[in-house]
């Protein structure tokens, strides 16, 4: 039986809706895509509910038009500086040791882990088991069927502002779409770009969005830590706008077209034309000056990330290094700066298991949206087939035009 899954990724720069159809063979066929500029949203927080609602409506409408299907529910990707996390331990008695651990025991121990002092204005988004412990024996990934007297769990708990989450969900629900689950964006992105071996060996996913940068550290196949930094691609564009005295839209375009995070890679003689305040015509500026502005902000971003990774104590446990994803991960030279600042191997995280003509979705900017579809499959107990995503060739022309409009 075929099933429809939808994901809505609401970011600071774009809103992306994907609609996928899961076939009986486990293949997820992307049948609809809608991408629009994000309005009424800033750093994961709704700033104008009517404007944000209309932006989401436009994104959903485009995806539904391509898919020839009207969605009634969707998984929602969220982020923002209001997201925080902590680790906690839960513990319950199994009994006299004469019966195996069952699913009810798992639910009870997870509920005990969630019994933390959470303020009334915070919502628990995810409670993720890091490892289970039975009678002092640690490192257990799946305790079901094992015998013991006491079951414990080390859990990672992600929380967010109830108000911020409700406002975002309300914008979606005003479009007659039920939010199945709100998902912290880097956890969705990880499903789309990380492979099983990286998660087992130790890796950090860095999702660089427009308003924030999200981190998810994976060790031994589980989420070990998550963080949110109040820095993103928009900060780079804002630096360009301020220092070169140019409108923000022109700064964003210059960043995408000309910027390089390693100025030495750019010829000193290269010049760019830019709209500058006080000039009636386009002004000629040094491209290297632009790149030096970008380099300073990117270095600051990764120095802060490096500091927090060292502070966590996991820096020696990450042989798989860093995976960069999100729209800003496409910035030229950003991998080189990340490798230099973090002293780890760095690769670009592009949604994998793609098949066919999928150039538009094979981009770090769409990792979260693809991950939301995979999250929906996982929640339903479905396992993606080895070749997990395909986009209809007939939809390619529409997708390409949307992509060009959002990512010049």
pLDDT tens sequence across 54-100? 999 999 999 999 999 999 999 999 999 999 999 999 999 987 767 89
Going by CATH, does the domain composed of 84-161 fall within 3.40.50.2300?
A: no
In this structure, the strands spanning 150-161 and 122-134 are antiparallel
Q: Where in the chain is the domain with CATH 3.30.1490.110?
A: 84-161
CA atoms within 13 A on the CB side of 217: 25
CA distance 406 to 38: 10
Average pLDDT, whole number, for the chain? 89
Mean of pLDDT values over 163-167: 96
pTM of the shown model: 0.89
**Contact by Cβ (8 Å): 114, 127:** yes
Residue 356 — pLDDT band, cuts 50, 70, 90?
Answer: very low
Which strand ranges, in their side-by-side order, compose the sheet holding 346-348? 222-229, 213-219, 203-208, 322-325, 346-348
Per the rule left: phi > 0, alpha: psi between -120 and 50, beta: everything else, 92 is beta
- Per residue, the 3-state secondary structure of 84-122, as one string, reads EEEEEEEEEECCCCCCECCHHHHHHHHHHHCCCCCCCCE
Give the contacts of 346 (CB within 8 A, at least 6 positions apart). Answer: 321, 322, 323, 324, 335, 338, 339
Mean of pLDDT values over 309-326: 93
Residue 381 — pLDDT band, cuts 50, 70, 90?
Answer: confident
Q: Which of 108-122, 169-183, 274-288 has the highest mean pLDDT?
A: 169-183
CA distance 27 to 354: 10
Mean of pLDDT values over 209-225: 94
Mean of pLDDT values over 199-219: 95
* Alpha-carbon distances, residue 105 vs 132, 142, 373 (angstroms): 12, 12, 29
Going by CATH, does the domain composed of 233-293 fall within 3.40.190.10?
A: no
Find the distance separating the first CA and the last CA of the chain, reported in whole Å: 39
Least confident of 17-21, 311-315, 403-407: 403-407
- At residue 355, does pLDDT exceed 60? no
């Amino acid at each position: 039986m075929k099933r429809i899954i939808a994901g809505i990724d609401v970011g600071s720069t774009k809103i992306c809706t994907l609609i996928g159809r899961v076939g009986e063979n486990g293949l997820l066929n992307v049948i609809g895509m809608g991408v629009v500029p994000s309005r009424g949203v800033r750093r994961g927080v709704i700033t104008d509910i009517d404007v944000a609602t209309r932006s989401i409506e436009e994104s959903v409408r485009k995806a539904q038009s391509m898919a020839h299907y009207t969605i009634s529910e969707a998984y929602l990707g969220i982020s923002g500086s209001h997201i925080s996390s902590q680790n906690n331990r839960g513990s319950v008695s199994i009994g006299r040791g004469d019966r195996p651990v069952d699913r009810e025991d798992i639910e009870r121990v997870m509920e005990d882990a969630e019994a933390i002092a959470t303020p009334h204005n915070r919502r628990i988004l995810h409670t993720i088991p890091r490892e289970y412990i039975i009678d002092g024996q640690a490192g257990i990934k799946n305790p079901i069927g094992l015998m013991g007297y006491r079951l414990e769990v080390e859990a990672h708990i992600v929380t967010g502002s109830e108000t911020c989450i409700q406002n975002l969900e309300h914008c979606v629900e005003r479009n007659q779409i039920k939010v199945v689950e709100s998902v912290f964006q880097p956890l969705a992105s990880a499903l789309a770009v990380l492979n099983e071996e990286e998660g087992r060996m130790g890796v950090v996913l860095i999702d660089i969005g427009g308003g924030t940068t999200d981190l998810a550290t994976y060790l031994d196949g589980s989420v070990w830590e998550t963080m949110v930094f109040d820095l993103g691609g928009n900060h780079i564009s804002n630096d360009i706008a301020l220092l070169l005295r140019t409108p923000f839209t022109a700064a964003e375009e210059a960043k995408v077209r000309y910027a390089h995070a390693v100025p030495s890679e750019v010829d000193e003689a290269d010049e760019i034309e830019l709209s500058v305040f006080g000039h009636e015509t386009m002004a000629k500026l040094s491209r290297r000056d632009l790149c030096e502005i970008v380099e300073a902000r990117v270095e600051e971003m990764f120095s802060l990330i490096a500091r927090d990774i060292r502070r966590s104590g996991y820096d020696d446990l990450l042989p798989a290094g860093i995976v960069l994803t999100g729209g800003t991960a496409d910035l030229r030279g950003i991998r080189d700066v990340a490798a230099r600042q973090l002293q780890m191997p760095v690769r670009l995280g592009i949604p994998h298991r793609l098949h066919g003509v999928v150039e538009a979705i094979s981009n770090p900017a769409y990792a979260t949206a693809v991950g939301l579809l995979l999250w929906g499959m996982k929640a339903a107990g479905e396992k993606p087939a080895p070749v997990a995503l395909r986009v209809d060739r007939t939809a390619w022309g529409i997708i390409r035009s949307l992509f060009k409009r959002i990512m010049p």
